[in-house]
Amino acid sequence: MASRTVIVTGGFGILGRAVSAAFTAAGDTVARVDFAGEAPDAGAAALDIGGVDIANPAVAAQVVGEVKAKLGTPTVLVNIAGGFVWEPLADGGAKTWERMFRMNALTAASMCQAAAPLLAESGDGRIVNIGANAAAKATAGMGGYTGSKAAVHKLTESLAEELKGKGVTVNAVLPTIIDTPTNRADMPDADTSDWLHPEAIADVILFLASPAARAVTGALIPLTRGTSA
């Protein structure tokens, strides 16, 4: 498979770095995009764009334009950017819901809007969004987070229909708890045996971005099996 230009949002985080590394190892050219100013492993990707709020459609358009100018027309967009808050409604309310919606749903929507026309130019473009298995049924304190991730699921389904026949597939993976240092610190007594390793999630994303997945679009794929790295 010829080298492609891949955009990974949230590219400076644990999952973003794992996904970026997997695409790079496969021979692709990766641009990592993040709200944070610098990546902890600066130089690991072909291009790092930090300190950007891609929930803003104008900023997302600028980012996509910069990637095209420096690396070439993108073929793959992976939307990992987002955040998590556990908070009962009484403790936060609309402010938290708005924050979650902006971080999880608007980042994905703005980047999809900016990148889709360029992805279509290749005739084999790919969008992979990160949803959440927890969004199937919200539990206490999870309303804002799961509500915003449910919006990502519906974005995935609707955009897949909008881009049918235009050479772009749109899918989402729905992981359960990801094995990260932050999650281990937040849940020190948890059984981590079923937690998902970032590298296992990256494998599924690479499949969805590959020619082998050309017939798959509009899928919401649960990732629920803990695996070794």
**Residues recognised as catalytic:** 145, 149
185 φ, ψ to 5°? -70, -40
User: In whole angstroms, what is the distance from residue 84 CA to residue 145 CA?
Assistant: 6
Structure tokens given for 24:
């790079």
Structure tokens given for 76:
């793959």
**DSSP letter string over 132-163?**
-GGGGS--TT-HHHHHHHHHHHHHHHHHHHHT
214 φ, ψ to 5°? -65, -20
- Whether the CA torsion 178, 181, 183, 189 is positive or negative: it is positive
Residue 133 has what DSSP assignment? Answer: G
How many Cβ atoms sit within 10 Å of the Cβ of residue 183?
15
